[in-house]
């Protein structure tokens, strides 16, 4: 096994159509590209036919859809032949509630035997709610109607009696099989219910608001061992060289989980999917190498957003749409909507726990259930991050205390004075402080944990999956781990953050695209350029609106239309089916005019029809095509610049499948489309044969392959013991830095500004002493540059980026 960080990973979305054997066939390409490790999406057995693997049903075997253990061993053999390692995605927080449920043996056991099942400890079930029955909200109508219509039946034809509802199958509690069907259903350890009941009465912890993903109690050491035995064995045997942990904030004790994982895997390289808000820091005591890179992505992409574009783009957005200029207003309302509706059941469980504590403690008994709910809702809405890390029975860390108290102060301003004392009580309960009679007991500990497990879903569903689909001043900023209100990252700020991150987490992952990003890195590059040409963008949108006035339906809101124009430019050229599928997802996630659960057919049709009419118009297509061509030189600089910065900066860089060429994908499932590896192989072979790159695809492939190969060949220059030094430039439109005194990366930041100023003029970059060669400069190694002031016009004459190596 290895505890070293990868020198460069290549993320692959495995599925039935592209399993272990298919990946083995591309191993030599990944090696030639420069990757050190294949980075695999979840490999454990998921619901058959899963397109992503996050719906695990069996922790004890590798996915049959991907080829099972035999194919995995063939893959590992092939990877070893070409000198590659493997990293795998791990899903510890939840398992699938599949159809049929029998696919998940532990859950089937719990539904059959209830609290007496040996697997009952696996699941975070509130057995005191629903009369001790696990809610199964699968019925298409209320249960009385289903029974009257004969849709629920008892099947005694097999080895054991079963309850059937169309494709749904459930076990029968032993000893109840001879009862009449209504009485039999009453005696089960589960309650079949109308699907709309879930958001109000669900009594098991789920992943965000997804009823078909049930939370797992990973804080239990026995549950950890049972669910991680196979993965830990693969790590110890050297079959896996590292792990990526999905959504650790969902677990009761993320820090404790990481400690158990480190012990089980002898400290293998681990990164965590943790979204950090603003200046939030990853807990320093976590046994991991750092995050999966959303924090790095925010800073890298921000380098290429022009802060001078903020005011004109804000004015254009508010004028066209009538939306507020303050994103914070949208965030508050979105979180409030999610707390009051989609996550009602989670909040209700918190309220019930707090009410029980107050009822049993005379000193705090007069805090009413309604008051507790109002205080909890406001505290959740005001909470600014995914989680505060408070452990029951331990003193809360100062940063956690600050977060909760600051949120309480905001909540206080939104509550009437008579609720302030209740808010103070709730604040102290979630911090684990003694309240009332001061005793510590199970329910108070559960409040501490449950509140933290609820904050994450409120942030994810309220901000990332609602507010980000409601406010589009510059859509490229609406990204996982991003902040649409934060417009651009100055060079000095980037250097300071990168140096601090390198000091704390030198082997964390960096990335620009993932399976979860709402737009690929190159779509965001296109949109970043809009910040550099805001006036020209405003003119283009105005012209397109005029061209389409006759086909704009009355139902279409201006906000969604403005998103359409940004999406069109960002992903151009785009087929109608991809555009309309994206707009359907965006509008339903926004939950303003239509939703997944209560779609508005007229609105949906209006959006779809307008998008199709736009793409069918020769005049609109020609105008959009002309605009994209006009900004393409600027886009080229951003595409290459952000990729070089990500690959050369500190950390373990990841390349998402296919993005070594220009990739104009939107949110999943669009970003999981098959990758044309034959095309990529051919282009890489041409570059390696000495051909100059033709077009942006080959230029990006050149940057990716040369940077990854350099990292693989000279790990000391980039690894944990390396150094990071800002390199001065005389222009704010460029960014440069050195690694270990041996490599210098230089990128054009704001190409439109350079063009407006007539080129680089006398601007220079101050190279450290020595003789430097640009590895992007051609087959002969390019031109040599001596240390000192080098004109940017000379250095960046061929490409808008340079990757210099000291001879």
Q: Do residues 227 and 251 both lie within one domain?
A: yes
The rounded distance, in Å, linking the Cα atoms of 138 and 32 is 49
Q: Is residue 662 part of a domain?
A: no
Local confidence band at 132 (pLDDT 50, 70, 90 cut-offs): confident
Q: Is residue 525 part of a domain?
A: no
pLDDT higher than threshold 60 for residue 496:
yes
Q: Is residue 713 part of a domain?
A: no
Backbone angles phi, psi at 506, to 5 degrees: -65, -20
Residue 780: what pLDDT? Answer: 47
Edge to edge, what strands does the sheet with 290-291 contain?
A: 290-291, 269-272, 242-245, 85-90, 37-40, 9-12, 652-656, 509-510
Q: Do residues 223 and 207 both lie within one domain?
A: no
CA dihedral sign of residues 627, 629, 632, 634: negative
Domain residues for 604?
Answer: 549-616
Residue 565: what pLDDT? Answer: 98
Domain CATH for 225: 3.20.20.80
Residue 547: what pLDDT? Answer: 97
- Chain-wide mean pLDDT for the chain? 96
pLDDT higher than threshold 60 for residue 765:
yes
Q: Do residues 344 and 257 both lie within one domain?
A: no
Q: Is residue 316 part of a domain?
A: no
Domain boundary residue among 616, 634, 663? 616
Local confidence band at 175 (pLDDT 50, 70, 90 cut-offs): very high
* pTM confidence score: 0.96
Q: Is residue 512 part of a domain?
A: no
Q: Do residues 359 and 457 both lie within one domain?
A: yes
Local confidence band at 782 (pLDDT 50, 70, 90 cut-offs): low
Residue 2: what pLDDT? Answer: 64
> Span 138-164, mean pLDDT?
96
> Span 601-623, mean pLDDT?
98
Residue 1: what pLDDT? Answer: 52
Q: Do residues 557 and 595 both lie within one domain?
A: yes
Task: Determine whether 107 is exposed, middle or buried from the number of CB atoms within 10 Å of its CB (0-12, 13-18, 19+).
Answer: buried
Phi-psi region of 450 (alpha: psi -120 to 50; beta: other; left: phi over 0): alpha
Domain boundary residue among 423, 440, 464? 464
Domain CATH for 136: 3.30.1590.10
Look up tokens 């950090």; give the residue: 276
Question: Measured in Å, how far apart are the chain's first and last C-alpha atoms?
Answer: 35
Domain boundary residue among 184, 215, 246? 215
Q: Are 640 and 799 in contact (CB under 8 A)?
A: yes
Q: Do residues 88 and 108 both lie within one domain?
A: no
The rounded distance, in Å, linking the Cα atoms of 344 and 377 is 10
Q: Is residue 456 part of a domain?
A: yes
Residue 781: what pLDDT? Answer: 53
> Span 503-528, mean pLDDT?
97
Q: Do residues 420 and 371 both lie within one domain?
A: yes
The rounded distance, in Å, linking the Cα atoms of 312 and 618 is 29
| Neighbouring C-beta atoms of residue 588, cutoff 10 Å | 20
Q: Do residues 333 and 439 both lie within one domain?
A: yes
Q: Are 24 and 78 in contact (CB under 8 A)?
A: yes
Q: Are 174 and 166 in contact (CB under 8 A)?
A: no
pLDDT higher than threshold 60 for residue 779:
no
Domain count, the chain: 4
Q: Do residues 181 and 229 both lie within one domain?
A: no
Residue 209: what pLDDT? Answer: 85
Q: Do residues 147 and 236 both lie within one domain?
A: no
pLDDT higher than threshold 80 for residue 292:
yes
> Span 219-240, mean pLDDT?
97
Q: Is residue 241 part of a domain?
A: yes
Q: Do residues 229 and 154 both lie within one domain?
A: no
Q: Is residue 285 part of a domain?
A: yes
Q: Do residues 171 and 222 both lie within one domain?
A: no
pLDDT higher than threshold 90 for residue 777:
no
Fill in the DSSP letter of residue 140.
S
Work out the angle at residue 326's Cα, subtended by the Cα atoms of residues 324 and 332, and round it to the nearest 5 degrees.
Answer: 95
Q: Please write the tens of the pLDDT for every residue from 360-381.
A: 999 999 999 999 999 999 999 9
């Amino acid at each position: 096994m290895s505890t070293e960080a990868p020198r460069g990973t290549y993320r692959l979305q495995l599925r039935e159509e592209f399993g272990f054997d298919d990946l083995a066939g591309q191993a030599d390409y990944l090696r030639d590209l420069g990757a050190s490790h294949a980075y695999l999406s979840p490999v454990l057995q998921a619901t058959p036919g899963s397109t992503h693997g996050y719906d695990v049903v069996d922790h004890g075997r590798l996915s049959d859809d991907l080829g099972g253990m035999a194919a995995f061993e063939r893959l590992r053999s092939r990877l070893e032949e070409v000198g590659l390692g493997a990293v795998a995605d791990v899903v510890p927080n939840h398992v699938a509630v599949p159809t049929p449920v029998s696919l998940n043996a532990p859950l089937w056991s719990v539904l059959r035997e209830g609290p007496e099942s040996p697997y009952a400890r696996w699941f975070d079930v509130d057995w005191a709610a629903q009369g001790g029955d696990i809610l199964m909200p699968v019925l298409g109508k209320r249960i009385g109607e289903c029974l009257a219509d004969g849709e629920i039946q008892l099947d005694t034809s097999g080895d054991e009696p079963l309850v059937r509802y169309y494709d749904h199958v459930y076990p029968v509690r032993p000893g109840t099989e001879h009862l009449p069907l209504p009485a039999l259903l009453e005696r089960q350890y589960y309650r079949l219910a109308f699907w709309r009941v879930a958001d109000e009465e669900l009594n098991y912890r789920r992943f965000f608001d997804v009823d078909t993903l049930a939370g797992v109690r990973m804080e239990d050491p026995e549950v950890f061992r049972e669910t991680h035995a196979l993965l830990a064995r693969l790590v110890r045997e050297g079959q896996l060289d590292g792990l990526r942990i999905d959504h650790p904030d969902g677990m009761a004790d993320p820090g404790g989980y990481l400690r158990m994982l480190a012990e089980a895997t002898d400290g293998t390289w681990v990164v965590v999917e943790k979204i950090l808000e603003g200046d939030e820091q990853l807990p320093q005591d976590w046994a991991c190498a750092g995050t999966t890179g959303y924090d790095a992505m925010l800073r890298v992409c921000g380098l290429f957003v022009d802060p001078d574009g903020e005011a004109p783009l804000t004015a254009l957005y508010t004028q066209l749409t009538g939306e507020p200029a303050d994103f914070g207003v949208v965030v508050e309302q979105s979180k409030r909507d999610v707390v009051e509706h989609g996550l009602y059941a989670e909040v209700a469980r918190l309220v019930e726990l707090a009410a029980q504590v107050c009822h049993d403690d005379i000193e705090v008994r007069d805090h009413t259930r309604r008051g507790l709910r109002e205080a909890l809702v406001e505290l959740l809405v005001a909470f600014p991050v995914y989680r505060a890390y408070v452990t029951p029975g331990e003193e809360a860390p100062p940063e956690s205390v600050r977060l909760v108290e600051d949120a309480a102060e905001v909540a206080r301003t939104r509550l009437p004075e008579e609720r302030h004392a209740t808010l103070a009580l709730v604040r102290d309960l979630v911090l684990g402080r003694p309240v009332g009679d001061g005793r510590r007991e199970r329910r108070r500990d559960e409040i501490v944990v449950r509140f933290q497990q609820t904050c994450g879903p409120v942030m994810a569903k309220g901000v990332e999956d609602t507010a980000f689909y409601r406010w589009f001043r510059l859509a490229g900023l609406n990204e996982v781990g991003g902040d649409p209100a934060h417009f651009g990252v100055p060079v000095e700020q980037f250097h300071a953050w990168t140096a601090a991150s390198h000091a704390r987490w030198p082997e964390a992952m960096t990335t620009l695209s993932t399976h979860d990003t709402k737009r690929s890195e190159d779509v965001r590059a296109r949109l970043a350029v809009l910040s550099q040409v805001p006036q020209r963008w405003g003119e283009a949108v105005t012209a397109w609106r005029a061209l389409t006035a006759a086909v704009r339906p009355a139902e279409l809101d201006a906000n969604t239309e403005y998103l359409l124009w940004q999406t069109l430019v960002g992903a151009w050229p785009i087929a109608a089916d991809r555009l309309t599928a994206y707009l359907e997802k965006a509008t339903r996630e926004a939950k303003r005019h239509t939703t997944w659960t209560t779609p508005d057919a007229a609105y949906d049709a209006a959006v779809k029809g307008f998008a199709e009419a736009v793409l069918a118009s020769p005049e609109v297509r020609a105008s959009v095509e002309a605009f994209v061509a006009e900004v393409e030189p600027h886009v080229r600089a951003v595409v290459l610049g952000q990729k070089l910065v990500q690959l050369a900066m500190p950390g373990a860089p990841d390349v998402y499948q296919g993005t070594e060429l220009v990739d104009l994908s939107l949110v999943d499932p669009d970003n999981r489309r098959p990758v044309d590896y034959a095309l990529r192989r051919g282009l890489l072979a041409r570059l390696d044969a000495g051909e100059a790159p033709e077009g942006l695809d080959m230029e990006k492939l050149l940057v990716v392959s040369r940077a990854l190969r350099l990292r693989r060949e000279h790990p000391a220059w980039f690894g944990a013991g390396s150094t990071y030094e800002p390199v001065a430039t005389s222009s704010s439109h460029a960014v440069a830095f050195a690694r270990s005194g041996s490599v210098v990366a230089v990128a054009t930041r704001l190409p439109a500004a350079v063009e407006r100023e007539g080129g680089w003029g006398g601007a220079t970059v101050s190279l450290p002493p020595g003789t430097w060669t640009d590895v992007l400069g051609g087959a002969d190694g390019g031109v040599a540059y001596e240390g000192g002031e080098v004109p940017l016009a000379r250095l960046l004459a061929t490409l808008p980026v340079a990757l210099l190596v000291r001879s």
